[in-house]
C-alpha cells in the first residue's frame, strides 16, 4: 500500500490518467475514425497528453478548490 501522505499525488496521477485517456480517445476517433492502427495512435496521443495533464492537475487543483469555495454558499 501507498502511504497516505502521497494521496494527493496519487489522486492527481489517476485523475490525469483517466481524463487524458478518455479525451485522447475521443480526439483520435474524431480525427481518424476507426482507421487501421487506431489503438496505436490513441495510446501514443494519450501518453503525450498525460505528460502535460499530470502537472496541469497538480497546478489547477488548488485553484479550482479555491474557486469552488468562493462560489459555494457558506452554511
Give the residue carrying C-alpha cell 489517476: 14
Name the pLDDT band for 74 (thresholds 50, 70, 90). confident
- Cα end-to-end distance, the chain, whole Å: 36
CB 28 within 8 A of CB 38: yes
What is the reported pTM? 0.80
> What is the residue extent of each domain of the chain?
43-70
Number of neighbouring beta carbons within 10 Å of residue 58: 15
Distance, CA of 10 to chain centre: 12
Q: What is the pLDDT of residues 1-58, one digit of tens each?
A: 899 999 999 999 999 999 999 999 999 999 999 999 999 999 999 999 999 999 999 9
Amino acid at each position: 500500500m501507498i502511504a497516505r501522505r502521497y494521496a494527493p499525488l496519487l489522486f492527481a496521477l489517476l485523475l490525469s490518467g483517466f481524463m487524458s485517456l478518455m479525451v485522447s480517445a475521443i480526439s483520435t476517433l474524431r480525427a481518424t475514425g476507426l482507421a487501421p492502427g487506431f489503438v496505436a495512435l490513441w495510446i501514443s496521443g494519450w501518453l503525450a497528453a498525460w505528460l502535460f495533464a499530470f502537472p496541469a492537475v497538480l497546478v489547477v487543483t488548488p485553484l479550482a478548490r479555491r474557486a469552488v469555495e468562493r462560489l459555494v454558499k457558506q452554511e
